[in-house]
Amino acid sequence: MDLFLTLAAIAVLLLLSAFFSGSETALTAARRSRIHQLEMAGDKRANLAARLIARRERLIGAVLLGNNAVNILASALAAGLMIRYVGQAGIAYATVAMTILVVIFAEVMPKTYAIREADRVALSVAPILRPIVAGLAPVTQAIQGLVLWVLRLFGVSGDSAWTQSVADEIRGMLDYHAREGSMRKHYRDMLRSVLDLADVEVGEVMVHRRDMVTLNIDLPAQDIVEQVLESRHTRFPLWQGTPDNILGILHAKSLLREVNSQNVDLTGLNVMLLAAEPWFVPDTTSLANQLSAFRNRRAHFALVVDEYGALMGMVTLEDILEEIVGDISDEQDEIADEPDQLVPQLRPEVDGSFMVDGATTIRNLNRAMEWRLPDVDAATVAGLVIHEAKRIPEAGQVFLFHEFRFEIVGRDGNRITQLKLSPQPTKRASD
């Protein structure tokens, strides 16, 4: 009779050990976002699970205390039982047998199941585990205090915990799911771009002043109308005297509406009366702030200036959206060979190299090709070459840095217009 009672007690203790092991794994691996979602929906079990997860140190302390207690008690019962029947050698037999049973049935099996069904198991064990954690709280707090005291003796501060921002955590999750194949790279790139909006400045995505289409208000009205019709843009900065002296922003719709009211007679057309007041923003403005400003002002267009007020370029709502979804082409744009490509300016060559425009941003290039080119000191590929070379290179020059071969293919004045990039297993630089 004693034999069956002891074996039953050992079995119950192994079940308790499996419960503690699986509970720890499930509550640790459970998706906090899913638990929070269920909690907001009124799920009481999710509320208990969230409270347990929020105080993870107390949870782990109680689980480990309970797990070790039942394992030690089960091993002691098994050792006593074996000694009774086979003598002192029973200690060795009991150790081997309990090790196998604990590892298989109380550790590996419950933890494997808990990992695969973490959310479900966490919700199931939370109501049972909650009173256990509360009851063992005084003991776990005392143990935790002792542990922190011992750590301080060795110069380890209990307050110096490594923390990770929510954005970095989300980035890690996106990279993981993309690598595992559960998320398309395109979606990962868009979500990462949203997270990066606060770290990217307007000056990195703006249209440079040399590429802006502007209008001289001193030109005859007929010439202005013709330039507007020939352009694919809808908003035009108006200047007088010098292109830096922007006086207003002309919308093509306002111009055409006024032209229609003039009955083809443009002699009395005053373009400045149709122009809106220009909006200037610093080049250091983050894309997140600029996007909010566009929304608040109900505007799509802003002029970018440096700290001295000098005109640098312009930024539109479309420029910011393209940072998220990639290049946006409409019926007025030249359609690239690969319209779904994140960087249309990137063209692969038969030798494994890539032709790229100098104005291509390093961030988009890294995002599209999974490269690691630095974008701290320069925003564009051409800027990176100039920064590393410490000069404006000539066409035909070759540079090796950051494990890439950069060949200058085209140059217009001081601008590098075309480059040929080839990944290279080297970090040496030369020309």
DSSP characters over 48-111: HHHHHHHTHHHHHHHHHHHHHHHHHHHHHHHHHHHHHHHGGGHHHHHHHHHHHHIIIIIIIHHH
CB neighbours of residue 266 within 10 Å: 15
Alpha-carbon span 81 to 2, nearest angstrom: 9
- Pair (406, 269) in one structural domain: no
Last residue of a domain, one of 153, 178, 213: 153
Q: What is the pLDDT of residues 120-143, one digit of tens each?
A: 999 999 999 889 888 888 888 888
Q: Give a yes or no: residue 374 inside a domain.
A: yes
E strand segments, 146-214: 207-208
The reported pLDDT for the residue numbered 415 is 87
- Pair (253, 392) in one structural domain: no
- Pair (14, 140) in one structural domain: yes
Q: Which amino acid is at 30?
A: A
- Pair (129, 261) in one structural domain: no
Low-confidence ranges of the chain (pLDDT < 50): 160-163, 335-340, 427-431
- Pair (271, 259) in one structural domain: yes
Q: Give a yes or no: residue 79 inside a domain.
A: yes
- Pair (175, 291) in one structural domain: no
- Pair (6, 147) in one structural domain: yes
The reported pLDDT for the residue numbered 315 is 93
Q: Give a yes or no: residue 392 inside a domain.
A: yes
- Pair (124, 260) in one structural domain: no
- Pair (235, 298) in one structural domain: yes
**Token digits for 225?**
């109308």
Provide the domain limits for residue 226. 201-325
- Pair (99, 37) in one structural domain: yes
The reported pLDDT for the residue numbered 270 is 81
Q: Give a yes or no: residue 261 inside a domain.
A: yes
Q: Give a yes or no: residue 335 inside a domain.
A: no
CATH of the domain at 212: 3.10.580.10
The reported pLDDT for the residue numbered 163 is 47
CATH of the domain at 360: 3.30.465.10
Q: Give a yes or no: residue 330 inside a domain.
A: no
The reported pLDDT for the residue numbered 73 is 92
- Pair (357, 383) in one structural domain: yes
For the chain, the domain total comes to 4
- Pair (107, 12) in one structural domain: yes
Q: What does the radius of gyration of the chain's CA atoms come to, in whole angstroms?
A: 34
